[in-house]
Amino acid sequence: MRCLSLPAQLLLPCACLLFACTEPSADDGADEIGSETDADSTTGTSEDGSTDSEDGSTSMGETETAGETSTDSTADTSSETGEPPPPPSACEEVELPPRDGADVMVAPGPEGKVIVDGSETTLRSVVSSANEGDTIWLEDGVYTFDEAGEGQYTGVYVTTPNITIRSVSGDPAAVILDSNYRSHGGQSAVLTIDAPGVAVAGIGLRRSIFHLVHLWANADDVLLHELELVDGGQQFLKSSGGDAIDNVEVSCSRFWMSPEGRDNVWGYGSQNGNTTCYTGGIDTHEATNWNVHDSTFEGIYCDADGVERPAHGKFPELRDNMTYTGGLAEHAIHMWDSAPGTGHTLTRNHILDCARGIGLGLVAEVHGGVITNNMIFSSFPGGGEHDVGIIVERSIDTLVAHNSVYFSHPEAYSSGIEYRWGVTANLRVHGNLTNKMIRARDGATADLSDNVADDAPGSWFVDAGAGDLHGAACADLPAAALHAEVGLDFDAQTRTDPTFAGADHCE
């Protein structure tokens, strides 16, 4: 791939990356391409409506981490379902915005410190002191943070517009901001961005008791590129209600949850049957025009067989010391709403073994929206922890096209794609490929064309059991008409007319 405009003294190799995850949903009163009916785990209730201060928090459940946590920031972060495929060619085309300010070189220091020009300081201080147009370069290593005391904040907090934070090496596995499940003050994230035009590239963020990255207030026009986000206690990337964060690009990044991370997830709700694990990949409220592409989401779910967790993590007294296990996590990507005349683009993402895959809408109407060329896989049975691949709810003027959804477990959730509620309008569902149903629920209607549902054997794919849903036997794959808005496939390769159903234009 292309090295992203390094200064002369930093001409080192660059790296690209990519990963994925899947999540569950639920059902009631459905009909569509397919035959079964499932019990519903998606109830249509609202998620969180909290307010923010610097803490970048928004939770309806005040919860957090439990049990022993390792301080080893070099824990294995390899995929649970195999190594991810190389980044598509589209990642080579992403360029960071040019900056004309200072280049600030930063190296890891002792616990909670960094080294700049031979002196110790904190990463928070470095970022807070930046001027517009500056680039903050992070050398390889692990960057740690002190536990915040009363009234203190220790996480990175960006308030200067148009700055860049990036690694020297371009390798997000080598430049790690490790929260180590420590409090950074209030409910603040490891990285909170409250300024427009900020770019963050080539770094990893791990082990937060709240969000790993929180965009709020003024964080429009942000670019997040080639990040590796591992083990968020709440959502990995959050944009809160009331902040209306617009025009964000998330590209070529990895969102991954480890077994340790599942033992440090928040929960909320009642203890008797409705406790939900409060984590997810990307979660936005009142946001518009996000572009999430060429990224991987993997293993973002809660484990019903795991350890009992305090329902408020480090603060169990706020929930009467109740505990929980399991529960339905948020989607790998969930865009709760968007205003008329706008729309989110969610394309070429790989989602593996997450609770639910992609969600558009739920409580409020969501306008616009393009969900194309995504590969979504789950090896788990359906139930309280695993649900649908793609669901659109109360969605208007939306395109769901050329996605591949494959569930390998014999007792998997019965729908690969669902659309819901009578208010849904001008929904086009075209050229999707799944071994499960494509289903309407609660009076929803859609324009359906060239979809293949309930009839996609694993032999059609390169490695269906591992989530590689590229076509294997091209001659066997069903054809679909070329859609005017889907000229490329999962690998950003040009489609011909006719093309193939699913995310891959098999050649």
HSE-up of 107 (CA within 13 Å, CB side)? Answer: 7
The pLDDT assigned to 85 comes to 53
Specify if 20 maps to a domain: no
Q: How many CA atoms lie within 13 A of 93 on its CB side?
A: 7
Distance of CA 138 to the CA centre of its chain: 24
Task: Give the CA radius of gyration of the chain.
Answer: 21
The DSSP code for 259 is H
Q: Find the angle CA(179)-CA(181)-CA(184) to the nearest 5 degrees.
A: 65
Is 434 in contact with 405 (CB distance < 8 Å)? yes
Across the strands, what pairs with 30?
Answer: 441
Angle at 113 between CA 111 and CA 119, to 5 degrees: 135
Report the pLDDT value the prediction gives residue 102, as an integer from 0 to 100: 98
Q: What is the dihedral of CA 259, 260, 265, 271, to 10 degrees?
A: 80
pLDDT at 323: 77
Q: What is the pLDDT of residue 86?
A: 58
Sole residue written with tokens 């495929």: 85
Q: Is residue 85 part of a domain?
A: no
419 in a structural domain: yes
Q: Please indicate, yes or no, if residue 2 is contained in any of the structural domains.
A: no
In-domain check, residue 158: yes
The two structure tokens encoding residue 225:
């590129």
So what's the pLDDT on residue 307?
Answer: 75
Total domains, the chain: 1
Query: pLDDT tens digits for the chain (507 residues)?
Result: 334 444 433 433 333 333 333 333 333 333 344 333 333 334 333 333 333 345 433 333 222 222 223 334 444 444 444 455 556 678 988 999 999 999 999 999 999 999 999 999 999 999 999 999 999 999 999 999 999 999 999 999 999 999 999 999 999 999 999 999 999 998 899 999 999 999 999 999 999 989 999 999 899 999 999 999 999 999 999 998 888 899 999 999 999 999 999 988 887 765 555 557 889 999 999 999 999 999 999 999 998 887 777 766 666 776 677 777 788 899 999 999 999 999 999 999 999 999 999 999 999 999 999 999 999 999 999 988 999 999 999 999 999 999 999 999 999 999 999 999 999 999 999 999 999 999 999 999 999 999 999 989 999 999 999 999 999 989 999 999 999 999 999 999 999 999 999 999 998
**What residue numbers bound the domain in which 384 lies?**
103-500
- What phi-psi label fits residue 396: left (phi over 0), alpha (psi between -120 and 50 degrees) or beta? beta
**DSSP letter for each residue of 262-327:** HTT--EES-SSS--EE--EEEEESS-B--EEES-EEE-----TTS--EETTTT-GGGGTT-EE---
Token duo for residue 311: 């329902």
Which H or E run includes 32? strand 30-33
Q: Is 14 part of any domain?
A: no
Q: Is residue 180 classed as helix, strand or coil in its secondary structure?
A: coil
Residue 411 neighbours by CB distance under 10 Å: 10
Question: How far is residue 45's CA from residue 274's CA, in Å, rounded to a whole number?
Answer: 12
Q: What is the CATH number of the domain that holds 484?
A: 2.160.20
* Token representation of residue 478: 């069903």
List beta partners, residue 282.
Answer: 237, 333
Residue 54 falls inside a structural domain: no
- Residue 181 CB neighbours (<10 A): 24
φ and ψ at residue 491, rounded to 5 degrees:
-95, 15
User: Does the residue 96 lie in any domain?
Assistant: no
